[in-house]
Structure formats: C-alpha cells, structure tokens
Amino acid sequence: MYRSTKIKPLQRGSFIFMMTAISLIYALLAQTAYAVNATGSWQTATGVTVEKGSRVYDTANRVYYTLNKMTNNSGAPLSGPVRLVVTSSSFPVANATGTDANGKPYFDVLASGASLANAATGGGTRINFQSSRATFAYSVEVQKWVETVVDSDSDGIPDTSDNCPLDAQNDADGDGTCGNVDNCPLDAKNDEDGDGQCANVDSCPLDPQNDVDRDNICGNVDFCPTDASNSCVTVNGRVKGNGAVLSGVNIKIGTDTNNKTTVTDSLGTFSATGLGSAQAAHDNLNDFLPVEVSASGYSSGYAKVVLEKGKAEYSVAIDLQPVSDNFTTDDNLNNGVEINKQGAAVGQLTIPDSSLPDGVTEVTGTVTYLDPTTDDIQSAPGGDLLALPAGVDPNTATPVPLESFGMMEFDLKDQNGNPIHELGGTAEVCMKATPGLNAGDTIPLWYYDEATGLWKEQGQGTVADKNGQLMICGNVTHFTWWNYDQPINTHSCFKFDVRDETTGNRLSGNIDWQAEGVTYSGTSPERACSVDADDPNVGSTIDSLTVKKSDGSTIEKIRVFADIGGNKFYLKRDGDGTYSLTNQADATVFDNPNANASCLNNTNVDQCAFLDYLDGANADGILPLSANINYPPVISNFNITDANGAATSNLLVGASANVNATVTDPEGTNVKVNWSTECSWYEQGNPGTISPASQDFTASPALFNATYTAPGTLSYPVEWCRITATATDSDGMSSSAEQWVYVTGSYQYEVEGILYGTDGQPLPNTLMQYSNNNCNNNGSQEVTTDGNGHYSVQFNTQNCSGGEGYYDLGYMTINYSHDNTQRTRSEYLNNYYYSEINSCSVQANAATQCHHDIRLPTVWGSLSGNLYPPQGEAFQWLNINSYQYSYGYNGSDYTWIYFDQAQSSYGPISVPVGQGYMYGYTNTGSYDNSQNFMMPSTQGQHQDFGDATAPVTLTAFDGQGGVLPGISVTGTSYGCTSNNNCNTSFTGVTDNQGQLTSPLPLSQFYGSAVYPNVGTRYNYGYVTTKDQPVNLDINSPDSCKVIGVAYGGNGQPLGEGFSINAWSDGNYYYNQNWDGNLQAVTDANGQFVFTDVKPGYFYFTHDNYYFGYTNYSIDNCRPVNGSAREIRIDLPYFDTQYNNGLPY
C-alpha cells in the first residue's frame, strides 16, 4: 500500500553538524596551498602581536566572526610559512585552514616565500565561530614554520642545497662526480693513463707503464722512455757554407759542461749518438740539444734540436756565412773601423782604448754580418729568433720572437791570441740600417746567450748618419753575436696536420716545418699547439707555426719550408687540395692571420687559422703531401786553384784559375753543372768568363772542372767577383754554391798626389806614414813630400785579405801644427770609388797608379768649454776629433789636450768647421766619456764636457702654429758614451702647452713626436752648456735666417755667384706647405743667406757638389726680440777630386 511521507523540518542539531562538515571540507581543500616541508616544526613567532576585532554576526551564514590583524614587531622581516592558531575558543571555529597536531584550528596567513616587513601589519584574518550558549571568548597564537636542518655529511651545507649530500669534500677533484661514487675522488682525470692507479697516488699519472726504465723520469716526459741512461738520442746533420757542403767542420752537441763532439765528412754530414737529457738545455719553452759549429773562415753556427718525448732520431741543417771582414793590428779601433762585406760598408766598430780589458794592448779578429733582407737570416744563431726582453724573469718568462734589422758576430783576440769577451768599458757597434728605418729611430739591442739558446735584450741602438750612410749604433760591453731587433709582440698562428697523400698516414714528427717571413725578417719553427673543437682529430696537440700578426691593411706574409736531408724544401699548394715540395721561387706565400693568438704559450689557440685556408670551405687543417721527395744534388769540394793546384783567392786581370766541384745526387741519378760569374759593385761590372759554362749530365758522383778567366778590364782597381755553380739532377732538382775571388789590375800600387796645408797651399818636406790594415806583409812606410808638396807611396796587395781589398787601399797619417797645436790627420785612400774611374790606371810596368790629393782643413773655429769630471776626479786628457761629411773625404783630424793638474775648463782651441766628437779620461782611470759636438762656423762654439746635463724641452706643433697636448714624445741622447751610460732617454705625454721637459747629458740628442694618423716626426739638437735650457721644436712653422760663408780650397771665401743648397726631408714636417729644399747664391764675399729655414736636420752643400755637405741641427726658430732667429753656418771647402773636377 502506498503511504505518503511527510518531510520534517531540519532540526537545529542537524544544521550545526552540516555546517561543521562543510567547514572541514573547505579546510582540507585549502591545506594544499600552504603545505610545508616535513623536516621541521611550528614554533611560536616572537615579537608578533595579534589585534582581535569585535565579534560580528553574519546573518547570511548565521555565524559570528572576528577580524584578526597581525603586527610584526620582531625587528626583522617575518617570512612564511606563518599561521594563526586558535589556542582556545568558547565557540566552535567554523572556517579554519586545518587543525594542528593537538587538534587546534589554524589559519595560514603567510605562504612560503612571502614575508611581512618589520613594524608592518597584515590585512587581517577572518575567524568564523558557530553560535554557542557559552560566554564568547577565544585566544590565538602566531606560529612560524622552522625547518630542521639535515646535513648528512656534516660539511655545513644542508642536504637540501648540497650537490654532494653524502660527500663531505664536495667533489674535491672537480670532475663532476661526488666522492662517495667517484672511483678516484682526488683525481680529476680519473686515472688518465688507465693503469688502475689514481693520479694522487700514481707516481707517473700520465705513464701507464709507470717509468718502465726505472730512471725516475715518467715515460710521458722521458726523452728515452725505455733507456735508463737517457742517452738514446741520435742527431744527424749537414753543414754548408755559401751553398757548398763543408768537410772537416768541428761539431759540439750539448752544454759546455756535458757534450759530445764530432766532425763533418766529405759530404758535410755528421752523426752523433748517445745523446740525451744530460746534454740538454732549456729555453723556457722546451728542452733542446745545443749544436755549435765552428769552421775556419766562417761565422760560428748555433742550432737547437728541440727534444720530443719518445723521439730518438733528429736531423739538423746548418748554413754558415763566410767571415765578412778582419781586424788587424793596424786598425785604429779607438777612432772606429769600418766593417765591409763583399766590398760594401755594413757597419763600424769603435772600442775606446780605455774600454779594453786590463793588459790588452792589441786587438785582432773577425766579424761576420748577416743581412736580414736576404737568406743570411737562415744562419741566425738558434734559428728561431726567440728572445727575452729586458726586465722579465729570465727563469720563467715566455720568450718572444724577434724581427731582425741586422746581426753581427765578433770574434776578437788579444796580442797573445786569447779571446776577448768582456770589456772594461763600452764599445760602439754600428750596422747599416735596413729599408724603412729613419734617422732617430731606436731599435733594441740583443746578444745571443749560447747557454739558454735565447737572445737577451741589453741596451738599444739609434739610427744615425755615419759618413753619409744610415746606421744603427749602440753600446756593448762584451763580444758575441749582437742583433738589432724589435720583438714581435702581436702574434697569430697557423695549425696544420701534414699527411702522406697516398697512405693518409700522419707525417707529424717526421718533418720539421719552419716559417720564414716574406714581409718581415723573422723565422719561427713548428711547435705543438693545444687543439680546439674545430681542429682535426689528432689527439691533444697539433702542429703549428706562430707568426707575426697581420694588422688591418698591413698583411704580413710567410713561406713555409722544411729541412730534409740537409736541404731546404718549400711548401707549395698544388690547387687540387694537395701539397708538394719545391724551391723558394715556386713556394706558396701565405697571408698571416689578423686574429691575436699564439702557440708559444697556447693563448687564444681557437683563433689560429688552418694553413690550408686557401682551400676555402674545404679547409680543415689537413694537408695531403706527396711523400716522393727528390733531394737536390750536393755540391762539395768547391775550390779555386792556381796552375800549381794551390787554393787562391786573388787573380790579376785576364788571368785564369781552375774551378772544380764534386756533385753527388742522393738518389743516384745523373747530374750536370752550369757556371756563372758576376763582378763589381752590385755585380754590374765585367764578369769575366768561365769555360765550359755548362757541363752536361754524367753519372753521380761527378767531378766537374772549368776554367775561370778574370775580366780584362775593371771598373775599380780591385773587384770582388763571384763564381756560382748550379747543379741539377735528371729530375730537374737544383742546388747552387758560390766562391769569391779578388781581381786586380796589379798587386803593385803607387798612390801619389799633393799634400795641401791649412793655408790651402802645397805642403813641402812633410813626413807622412802609410798603413794598410788588411795586408799582413805590409808594415808601415814613411814617405816625405818633396819641395812641391808631392808624395808617392808604393805597396803590394797580393797577400792582403779580409774583404776590403776592393774598397780600401790603406791610409796616410800626417802630423801637423795649426795655431801652435799639434794635430793628426788620417786620410783613407779610397777615392778611386767616388771620383773619376780613371783616377787609377794600370801603367806599363803593370803597377796600378792612383792619384789622391790630401787637403788639411782650411776653415777653423774656436772651441772651448767647462769640464765636469765626477766628484773627486779630474780629467787627465781630452781628445778632440773632427770630420766633415764627404763621400770622398774619408778621414778625420784630431788633437790631444793634456792636463798637468785639475782644471775646470779647456780651450779655446782651433778645430775644423764641421762635426766631431770629444773623448776624455780621468786621472784615476775610473771614468771615461765621449760626446758629439758641432763647430758650425768660424765664429766658434762653446761645448762643455763631462758628467753634466741640461733641461731639454720638447714642444710638438701641429705645423700651423698650434701646439699639440697629449701626444707621445721622446728625447734621446746619442753620440754619448761613458761609464755612467750617458746614452739616456725620456718618454712621456705633452702637457697643455704641447711640451715635455727632462734633463739630457752633454752631447747631441734627438726628439721625436708620434702624430696620430701621420706617424713619427723628429728633430735634432745639442746640449752644449751645463744647466742651460734647450728648446727643441718638432714640426714648428717658425722660420730662421741662416747666414754663412762658403770657402774655397785656400781657406778664403768663394766669390760671387756660387749656388748653395739647403735641404731636409719629410721626417721632420707634416701639414706644412714646405718641402725642405732651399737655394741661395753667394755674394762677392762668399756669403749666402737663407730666409725660410724651419727647425730640423739640414744638409748644406754647394749646388753641383753631390759628394760633400755640412749637416746642422736647427733645434728651434723662435723669434728673438721680435725678429727671426739668425744662425751662422759656414761651408768648408770640399775636395774637387771627389766630384769630377768641379772648379772650386
């Protein structure tokens, strides 16, 4: 039966239950937003108060509620999680977030990461209460969640932020693996050599065999890893000179204290075994075996065999240069001796007598000059031109490569044949300046240290005019190899891996490559370089060449070569992705990268370029090379002999000599020879003949004989002739060698002429002395002029040697008096080169007769000054040496002033107009000094001498009257030598007046200023007076007025109408409409006037006189009393015999 059901109203108790259930559901849903880490506890938050609001009834929800505001007074921010706990309530809480462990309701008020600032009040938390018959009351508490810190490994780092929570050392070796699971927790490479021993306990962490030979040197760095005696190395080599192999040459391999010696065989080869670490030296980059080569008539040779671990056999090629010149007992080194190479002046050596070691009274020896613009540079000691600049730690500093401007080896001996190494003072070494250098440039000076295989910086040289030729001159205190170089401070590099074109096998270690500069004078050997991600897969290192970096539009270039079997082979790009070996002429020229990188010290090696960069997108650093090498023929026993088979280096015109050479082809193919000859200055003269000029193929080895006939006529009395043998094998590979011979019209010479006195008239009945430094059998001769001043001297040059027979016939010494002062004149008899070619001729009696007039100075000025010896000393004597610049005038005049007691001044004393230098010595012998001076005119000159300075102010102008602040300027003294090293300089930046001031010693000096986007500009001056300020203006537009008198040969002014030139060059000016060339005409009194002469270095000369000039440095042209500064410069007489007989 169906029965209806009546729905009853909801009872009060049921409603309360329902609302409570709903509140609990809401609380559970909200709890997830404020969940906290289980490792912690809720603790009462101190310093936090709660303001409880009044109870309010919510009719909609039928609940009471209060708003509770939390204020933070703790003194610090309150960070979440934070909750409000209802600790007691007479009414049930209806809307709690949840209940705590004690069943107390709570409300989340700050989430994790949220915070309430100090002294701040929160927005209020609403608490709903269910109605109850009890009296309404409740209490609350603010609680903060405090985490419990867990540090499992007790390292002070919570596990929650500890990368290695179970490793107290926290990956001590830094390999990314925590120590609790790392097999080698203290070895970042994790047993790199795989021998089961971690590096921290492995005595040889990179040697899996752990020093198998038990020599206490791990195999990875052991040159002989299986040889306990470490003497497994063999060095094979070949020595050449002038292209021909040299036999019987002494070879020393190793250090001075531990070495092995041998000699070359008939093919110039040598082999030394049993070498190793005991003979090795270190150059701060590598261990190497020093190789020293000595052969009579040649420079010494130094090579470096860089040792590599595990490599036992090495090859080296050494090319020696023939000695350039000799010093004999007749050479006056105190006054300076010119150095010649193949007839050309290449330098000068000056050793003051006071600088000689104690007990040395005579100096002889040889000098060899290497021209950096030629293949001479391949003979540079060490081969790599690595160097240590001054001021670096010699034990740890990384060497830098050098760019050479010329080098010389001095091999000097005393009167007993003992070598002279250390001096008691300084000597001046000058070498010819290479193209691109200008007067005033400074170049660092370096010497070769055989013990370390490095060039070491010691001093600097200055480019200056020496007898009409620019030379770099600097001071040295000992003798060895010296080199004027600048360090290459910006490097780039090439990486490459050469492989056999056929097999693909790597050739690294089998061929040692080198780079030679094409645009600069430098070489650099192959080095192992660290790999980067782009390199071929070759292991940890790859072959490389560190070279001079290209810079902007200046592209530096190199060729790459290797020495194979004692011969140079150059790398050639074939254009099809492969490479081959060739000669220098056909070699590929590579452009150096412009990225800054170096494999010397593995810097920025990811910026190295691949050597096959010319292959474009296909460049990968791998160079396939044809391994089929055709070695060039070897030329040996190259001799020039007379009819009796004796070696000779002298021939008369038209005479013949036998020429022979042995040619051997390493592959055994047939060989042939072509002969060629050149003579005279730059090989422009008659070369003579050689017959047969070519000899066809014959079996190797073959002895080739030819006859050389000297030229029948010569351009000069003595000429230097070269005979070249070029050998070729059947496959077209060639090599060449050369020998030199003197050719002369006669060995017997007569030099005659007129000796003119200081009045310009012939000087009768005067004693003269002849000397020739190059002739061993030619002692001094005395001759006397006749009543007409005529002299004649005869000598024989057949036994003369040393490279100067072509250039120097000796010199005459004349002692004379002027103004009651004894003077000495040294006149070199080399006018045959600079005057008419007919000034020397072969006479009917087969003697060569040369005419050479000697003119003593006729124009004089008075020189005087104060003396400034060191404190407590006095000058004992003073030497004053004067000279004028004239190519034909190759002599000097000097006088001595002796002081019996201490004096504070010298002079006045008459000296010739022109330039000169002064040299003085104190009574104790502890101080010597020399300095340049200038006698500009007959009005005389004041020149203090000694240990004193004056303030020099350099001012840089913009060329239009304005000064230039903030640019770099340098002032440098030169021509000054002393025990106190008076060749000093200063460098700085100009002030707001465009100036920089600093003291410089008494002597000549120069100033330079570096102009942005223009370059360096120079000027010269003299410090003449102690403490007297000197102003040197650079690029100033001010003008001076130069007044002077031009003199004739009789010491009297020239007449009217003679043209006088004044000229300078662009190194002194820029931004000026002025070319530095001026002309004036003498008046009836021989006077000339120039009205627009600007500060700079000037040459004053007669209009048609090319070979003689007076030079003068105009330091400034600042107006004097509102008018142009006037300067007096006189022109002395220039001997007409050096200028094709001009009428004055």
Q: What is the pLDDT of residues 169-224, one digit of tens each?
A: 998 888 899 989 888 999 888 888 888 899 888 888 888 888 788 888 887 778 88
Residue 204 belongs to some domain of the structure: no
Backbone angles phi, psi at 959, to 5 degrees: 90, -10
Q: Of 840, 895, 872, which is closest to residue 947 (Cα–Cα)?
A: 872
Instruction: Summarize the confidence of residues 388-398 as an average pLDDT.
Output: 87
Domain count, the chain: 9
Residues 6+ apart with CB under 8 A from 75: 47, 118
- 107 has pLDDT over 90: yes
Which of 999, 1032, 1065 is the C-terminal boundary of a domain? 1032
- 5 has pLDDT over 60: no
Q: Of 604, 491, 506, which is closest to residue 549 (Cα–Cα)?
A: 491
Residue 846 belongs to some domain of the structure: yes
Q: What is the pLDDT of residues 535-572, one digit of tens each?
A: 998 888 899 999 999 987 889 999 999 887 667 889 99
C-alpha 739: how far from chain center: 33
Instruction: Summarize the confidence of residues 930-940 as an average pLDDT.
Output: 90
Residue 1048 belongs to some domain of the structure: yes
Q: What is the pLDDT of residues 57-78, one digit of tens each?
A: 888 889 999 999 999 999 999 9
Residue 170 belongs to some domain of the structure: no
Question: Contact, 738 vs 725, CB < 8 A?
Answer: yes
The CA-atom distances, in angstroms, between 135 and each of 53, 92, 579 are 16, 12, 106
**What value, to the nearest 5°, has the Cα angle with vertex 971 and ends 969 and 972?**
140
CATH assignment at residue 754: 2.60.40
Q: Which domain holds residue 89?
A: 12-147
Question: Contact, 1134 vs 1105, CB < 8 A?
Answer: yes
122 and 94 in a common domain: yes
Give the C-alpha separation, 164 to 149, whole Å: 16
DSSP 3-state of 543 = strand
Which tokens sit at 619? Answer: 């460049």
Q: What is the pLDDT of residues 236-256, one digit of tens each?
A: 888 988 888 898 999 999 999
676 and 549 in a common domain: no
The CA-atom distances, in angstroms, between 118 and each of 78, 122, 951 are 7, 11, 70
Residue 177 belongs to some domain of the structure: no
86 and 121 in a common domain: yes
CATH assignment at residue 1098: 2.60.130.10
Q: What is the pLDDT of residues 865-888, one digit of tens each?
A: 999 988 888 988 888 888 765 434
664 and 619 in a common domain: no
Give the C-alpha separation, 190 to 183, whole Å: 7
- 1136 has pLDDT over 90: no
CATH assignment at residue 642: 2.60.40.3880
Cis preceding linkage at 81, omega within 30: yes
701 and 598 in a common domain: no
873 and 792 in a common domain: no
What order of strands is seen across the sheet that includes strand 671-678? 650-652, 734-744, 718-729, 671-678, 694-698
989 and 959 in a common domain: yes
Q: Of 91, 96, 100, which is closest to residue 127 (Cα–Cα)?
A: 96
Which tokens sit at 944? Answer: 């203090």
CA dihedral 577, 580, 583, 587 (to 10 degrees): 20
Which of 810, 832, 855 is the C-terminal boundary of a domain? 855
482 and 436 in a common domain: yes
Residue 228 belongs to some domain of the structure: no
Residue 222 belongs to some domain of the structure: no
Give, as one character, the DSSP assignment of residue 717.
S
Residue 129 belongs to some domain of the structure: yes
Question: Contact, 851 vs 752, CB < 8 A?
Answer: yes
- 690 has pLDDT over 90: yes
Q: What is the pLDDT of residues 885-911, one digit of tens each?
A: 543 445 677 788 888 778 899 999 999
Backbone angles phi, psi at 362, to 5 degrees: -135, 150
Burial of 366 (0-12, 13-18, 19+ CB in 10 A): buried
Which of 946, 979, 1007 is the C-terminal boundary of a domain? 946
Q: What is the pLDDT of residues 759-779, one digit of tens each?
A: 999 999 999 998 876 665 555
140 and 32 in a common domain: yes
CATH assignment at residue 994: 2.60.40.1120
- DSSP, residue by residue, 574-623: -SSS-EEEE-STTPPPEEPP-S--BTTTTBSGGGPEETTGGGGGG--SEE
Residue carrying structure tokens 């000799």? 326
Work out the pLDDT band at 788, boundaries 50, 70, 90: very high
1028 and 1058 in a common domain: no
Q: How does the average pLDDT of the chain come out, rounded?
A: 85
Residue carrying structure tokens 């009045």? 759
Question: Contact, 387 vs 457, CB < 8 A?
Answer: yes
Give the C-alpha separation, 192 to 204, whole Å: 10
Percentage of residues of the chain with pLDDT beyond 70: 88
Neighbours of 131 (CB within 10 A): 15
Instruction: Summarize the confidence of residues 403-414 as an average pLDDT.
Output: 91
Q: What is the pLDDT of residues 505-531, one digit of tens each?
A: 888 777 889 999 999 888 888 888 999
- Name the pairing type of β-strands 885-886 and 1108-1114: antiparallel
Question: Contact, 432 vs 473, CB < 8 A?
Answer: no
575 and 513 in a common domain: yes
Residue 330 vs residue 263, higher pLDDT: 263
Q: What is the pLDDT of residues 650-683, one digit of tens each?
A: 888 889 999 999 999 988 999 999 999 988 654 4
505 and 433 in a common domain: no
